[in-house]
Amino acid sequence: MKGVQVSDTPMEFLVEYLTRAQEICDGMAHIPAELKDNLGKALELASGLDHYLEGMTSKESEQLAELNAETVSHDWDQAYKDGKTMFCLPKECITGHVEGQTLKMLVRMSKARRVLEVGMFTGYGALSMAEGLPQDGRLVACELEPYLKEFSQPFFDKSPHGKKITVKTGPAMDTLKDLADAGEQFDMVFIDADKNNYINYYNFILDNALLRLDGVICVDNSLFKGRVYLREVEDENAKALRRFNQFVCDDPRVEQVIVPLRDGLSIIRLVPMATASTLQQSPITDDVVFRGVGGASVLGRMRLDGKVAYVTGAGQGIGRGFAHALGEAGAKVAVVDIDEAKAKSVVEELTLKGIRSIPIVADISESEDVQRMVDTVVSTWGTIHIACNNAGINMNSASEDTTLSEWDKTFNVNLRGTFMCCQAAGRVMLKQGYGKIINTASMASLIVPHPQKQLSYNASKAGVVKLTQTLGTEWIDRGVNVNCISPGIVDTPLIHSESLRPLVQRWLSDVPAGRLAQVTDLQAALVYLACDASNYMTGHNLVIEGGQSLW
């Protein structure tokens, strides 16, 4: 079998038949020129497609290329004769470059975190999909042949994505039962094992909730060399696939398309909603809890697509994390900072992630700057939906030594500045009857953090909470929610300064969570307060401090 190319897909058979027809024609006299011409054109069309798709598909990784080369050059006949494999495995089993990249793309597009593969062979498809998974993603591959696990493991070990893969050897149905017993669930399943069992795998997966709602099943070889639609077919596997395709097509639980890629790739999506007839027959309560508000799931309601936001103090630390969070959730983001270079650098980061953003330089303690900031956002994107008033400063001094200048500077930014931002953005929002204002307060609004002395900061942040409560109750009936977030001590470059570094150990002993907050610990709270899922929440202070204020 080594090196021999065997037709395996409808297109490869078409090329084979057309080539044979052309050879026959070439050996015969009196063939009409038009027939020869059409045959030539048909052959060119058919034989060019796979090469073109190969060439135009993103290159595979070095590790996949090596795995492919080793798989196709391996002597599988010999492995079978030597008793290493139970079955004689054709090298054509391998998923290959174009399909591998398609699977990887589907993993990325469906944002899958957990993938199940039924039928791994040497792991080309498994590794392709693992490359598309996030760092904490996991892929379970079922494979009958223990020899294939041994074969693939060194390639997985060489790849930075190999650790995501767990291979379970034995009959796939046994593994599926174990996974169901363990309560496992997957976002995407790739079925590519023994064809006569496809329907059993498929039904078991759906009946035992191994696929999450809205999850995707991909099925390989669903065209089975074209034999699923050819008339004269004796092949049992082809008949099994024909029945399988029809069964899935008629199954009200799913939607299906068959993509004529290589030997056919079915993409099957579990439809989240029951059909009208099942709803009528069942005792379920068909309301917004069941269907989702506006048809959107709770996570869907946290999307911010089409929303316009600004974040002050977004050049670094918490504000930078907030700008990324709002952008990742779909909003356009104005990155506001007093430092132009920092604002521009965050805009560059967001642009790299495909997030629309602009830098705005503004000192929020200056009323003209605040108005210019709001005017710039409105003139650029037409309005403001989300105002994230985050900029703040902190100076340390014992209260008996605190100067009025320190007090004024702190209050001018933290409280007066935040008020000016709320007012300027609030005017735009009240006019349109919609807005989300999220102020950054601090755990210092609740407790007196120690041992550092920061009277002005503590008092100004307590003011931010009262400002938030007052605006939150005053504006809610006109569609504007005002809330604030109170972070505990956040691990930003500021706390690594010479003066604060010695305090870190002391602080740590005050935090039940045993660590300081990361900027990323605050992001989901902001998105929640910025989205419509929090429409009934106003004037509140969401405290995220690892439990510190409770001790």
Ligand X SMILES: C[S@@+](CC[C@H](N)C(=O)[O-])C[C@H]1O[C@@H](n2cnc3c(N)ncnc32)[C@H](O)[C@@H]1O
Query: Catalytic amino acids?
Result: 457
Using CB under 6 A, pick the residue from 93, 267, 318, 516 that binds ligand X.
93
Strands 254-259 and 265-270: antiparallel
Using CB under 6 A, pick the residue from 187, 192, 369, 406 that binds ligand X.
192
> Of the ranges 3-11, 86-94, 353-361, 396-404, which one interacts with ligand X (CB under 6 A)?
86-94
Q: Give the closest residue to 288 by CA, choosing from 296, 280, 278.
A: 296
Output the smallest distance, CB 138 to ligand X, in A. 17
Confirm if 458 and 468 have CB atoms less than 8 A apart.
Answer: no
Using CB under 6 A, pick the residue from 15, 94, 179, 425 that binds ligand X.
94
Output the smallest distance, CB 261 to ligand X, in A. 14
Using CB under 6 A, pick the residue from 46, 106, 165, 172 that binds ligand X.
172
Residues in 113-132 that interact with ligand X by CB under 6 A: 119-121, 124-125
| CA pseudo-torsion sign 508, 509, 514, 519 | negative
Residues in 200-219 that interact with ligand X by CB under 6 A: none
Output the smallest distance, CB 190 to ligand X, in A. 7
Sheet of 186-191, strands arranged across? 165-169, 138-143, 114-118, 186-191, 211-220, 265-270, 254-259
Taking the least distance from each CB to ligand X, the nearer of 237 and 470 is: 237
Residues 6+ apart with CB under 8 A from 326: 304, 307, 309, 311, 333, 386, 388, 526, 527, 530
Residues in 126-165 that interact with ligand X by CB under 6 A: 142-145, 148
Output the smallest distance, CB 141 to ligand X, in A. 8
| Helix, strand, coil fractions of the chain, as percent rounded to 5 | 50, 15, 35
Strands 211-220 and 254-259: unpaired
Output the smallest distance, CB 191 to ligand X, in A. 9
What x-and-dash track marks residues 302-331 binding ligand X by CB under 6 A?
------------------------------
Report the C-alpha gap between 147 and 124 in whole angstroms: 15
Contacts 24+ apart (CB under 8 A), 344-350: 345/315, 346/314, 346/315, 346/316, 346/320, 349/320, 349/324, 350/323, 350/324
Exposed/middle/buried for residue 153 (C-beta within 10 Å: 0-12, 13-18, 19+): middle
Using CB under 6 A, pick the residue from 12, 60, 131, 194 that binds ligand X.
194
Give the DSSP per-residue string, 121-148: TTSHHHHHHHHHS-TT-EEEEEES-HHH
Output the smallest distance, CB 195 to ligand X, in A. 9
Please tell me the count of residues contacting ligand X according to CB under 6 A. Answer: 19
> Of the ranges 50-58, 192-200, 370-378, 395-403, which one interacts with ligand X (CB under 6 A)?
192-200
Other C-beta atoms closer than 10 Å to the C-beta of 534 total 20
- The SS3 assignment for 313 reads coil
Q: Give the closest residue to 423 by CA, choosing from 374, 465, 496, 462.
A: 374
Taking the least distance from each CB to ligand X, the nearer of 64 and 516 is: 64
Taking the least distance from each CB to ligand X, the nearer of 18 and 130 is: 130
> Of the ranges 91-99, 276-284, 332-340, 431-439, which one interacts with ligand X (CB under 6 A)?
91-99
Q: Give the closest residue to 460 by CA, choosing from 413, 396, 415.
A: 415
Taking the least distance from each CB to ligand X, the nearer of 124 and 381 is: 124
Taking the least distance from each CB to ligand X, the nearer of 93 and 447 is: 93
Taking the least distance from each CB to ligand X, the nearer of 12 and 194 is: 194
Q: Give the closest residue to 199 by CA, choosing from 259, 139, 268.
A: 268
Taking the least distance from each CB to ligand X, the nearer of 6 and 273 is: 6
Taking the least distance from each CB to ligand X, the nearer of 133 and 517 is: 133
Which of 286-305 are b and which e, b meaning 16 or more Cβ less than 10 Å from the residue's Cβ?
Answer: eeeeeeeeeeeeeeebbbbe
Output the smallest distance, CB 171 to ligand X, in A. 4
Taking the least distance from each CB to ligand X, the nearer of 93 and 464 is: 93
> Of the ranges 49-57, 187-195, 305-313, 317-325, which one interacts with ligand X (CB under 6 A)?
187-195
Q: Which residue is nearest to ligand X (CB)?
A: 125
Other C-beta atoms closer than 10 Å to the C-beta of 368 total 9
Output the smallest distance, CB 299 to ligand X, in A. 30
Output the smallest distance, CB 215 to ligand X, in A. 18
Using CB under 6 A, pick the residue from 171, 260, 272, 330 that binds ligand X.
171
Chain residues in the site for ligand X (CB under 6 A): 89, 93-95, 119-121, 124-125, 142-145, 148, 171-172, 192-194
